[in-house]
Amino acid sequence: EAKAAGRNCLRFFDPEMQSVVTAHAQLEEELRQALDLEEFRLFYQPQVDDAGRLTGAEALVRWQHPQRGLVGPLEFIPLSEQTAIILPLGRWVLEAACKQLVAWAGVAGTAHLTVAVNVSARQFRERDFVAQVKAVLDKTGAKPQRLKLELTESILLDDVEDVITKMTQLRAHGVGFSLDDFGTGYSSLSYLRRLPLDQLKIDRSFVRDVLTNPHDAAIVRTIVGLGKNLDMKVIAEGVETEVQWRFLQELGCHAYQGYFFGRPVPISEFGRASDQRYAAGAA
Ligand code: C2E
Ligand code: MG
Ligand code: MG
Ligand code: MG
């Protein structure tokens, strides 16, 4: 599946066969075509609350390549961010996710669901980013209150005043913000305090060994405490087992995402995957 396709992809771009620069240029061109040919797909991974009830999903992009099969985002997002491809790709992702919100809004029992969309620093840095998001919300008719944007700590390398201004404007419009992969970056606590965030998303590297590594448990506890003090909810990503989930609950997390509750799947499989562990229905 995605992993295998990813490996093929790397072999395809063997730097010994052609220069890295050429390979990148080639991939960039292919990504441009992929946008035109509508080869990108959004997969959805469930997010649940303390009671295990479905509250929404994170939208995760994949590339349905005609030869190489399903290609995971780690194979093309980094390069997309180095080029300008991430800009049209990011707009496509946002629009597709908002359309899904509208579809959910029209069905009893799913109207409360939120969607989380990853936004790269380069996208967020666009001067008209706020207007872009509002335009997509207007065009699709999605409720801003159902949209959550996931930023990473790398945005803090940018002009922090500009970041705060944009976040504040979108938040006034109803859009929520989550800080993704939290704990792996270089957040200065003084900056963090100033960001109008709704949620901190604990990176899965701290979740993986949380049961056996007391340092990881201490980090989770610290992030929960930080969230409490800054008035932010805390979501744990990468929850793979029930015991991990129980322990994270005990540590004070508020929301959860991971293979235990469901893998990222196409929307046609969302909510009816046979291995789903979350309860359906409104929270
Ligand atoms: P992320 O935003 O931190 O997304 C979570 C990643 O962890 C996803 O990988 C997901 O499949 C994986 N994951 C979720 N639960 C588990 C678990 O229980 N165990 C393990 N081992 N892994 C789990 P994925 O889909 O390969 O995405 C990788 C990264 O690519 C994302 O990390 C995000 O940074 C980026 N990405 C994905 N879609 C987009 C997009 O539309 N735009 C941008 N800018 N970045 C994206
Ligand atoms: Mg994310
Ligand atoms: Mg994450
Ligand atoms: Mg992560």
CA 150–ligand 2 middle distance (angstroms): 6
CA of 264, nearest ligand number: 1
Q: What would the mean pLDDT of 147-162 be, rounded to a whole number? A: 91
Question: How much is the pLDDT for 250?
Answer: 97
User: What's the pLDDT tens digit per position in 182-240?
Assistant: 998 877 788 888 999 999 999 999 999 999 999 999 999 999 999 999 999 999 999 99
Helix (H) or strand (E) holding 135: helix 129-140
Q: Whose CA is nearest to atom 7 of ligand 1?
A: 238
**Taking the model in full, what pTM does it have?**
0.92
pLDDT at 275: 53
Residues with CB under 5 A from ligand 2 (ion): 118, 150, 180
Give the closest residue (by CA) to ligand 1 atom 25: 60
pLDDT given at position 76? 95
Burial 37-67 (b: 16+ CB within 10 A, else e): eebbebbbbbbbbeebebbbbbbbbbbbbee
**Amino acid 105: pLDDT:** 96
Which residue has a Cα nearest atom 35 of ligand 1? 73
- On the question of pLDDT at 13 being above 70, the answer is no
Q: Closest residue (by CA) to atom 10 of ligand 1?
A: 264
Q: Mean pLDDT, to the nearest integer, of 59-68?
A: 96
Q: Whose CA is closest to atom 37 on ligand 1?
A: 60
Confidence grade of residue 3 (pLDDT, cut at 50, 70, 90): very low
pLDDT score recorded for residue 276: 63
Q: Is a pLDDT exceeding 80 seen at residue 147?
A: yes
Segment 78-93 shows an average pLDDT of 94
Band of pLDDT at residue 19, cut at 50, 70 and 90: confident
* Model confidence pLDDT, tens digit, residues 101-125: 999 999 988 999 999 999 999 999 9
Angstrom distance (rounded) from CA 219 to CA 225: 10
Ligand 1 pocket, residues with Cβ under 6 angstroms: 45, 60-61, 72-74, 77, 90, 93, 118, 120, 150, 180-181, 204, 237-240, 258-259, 264
Q: How far apart are CA 277 and CA 271, in angstroms?
A: 10
**Among residues of the chain, what percentage have pLDDT more than 70?**
90
The rounded Å distance from CA 119 to ligand 2 centre is 8
Which pLDDT value is given to residue 6? 46
What the block records as the tokens of 88 is 């049209």
Residue 97 CA to ligand 1 centre (angstroms): 15
- Distance of CA 58 from the midpoint of ligand 1 (Å): 9
Does position 277 have pLDDT exceeding 90, yes or no? no
Report CA(44)–ligand 3 centroid distance (Å): 13
CA of 237, closest atom in ligand 1: 15
| 147-152 vs 69-71, strand pairing mode | unpaired
Task: Tell me the CA distances in angstroms from 205 to 39, 52, 153, one per residue in order.
Answer: 31, 22, 15
Which ligand 1 atom is nearest residue 123's CA?
44
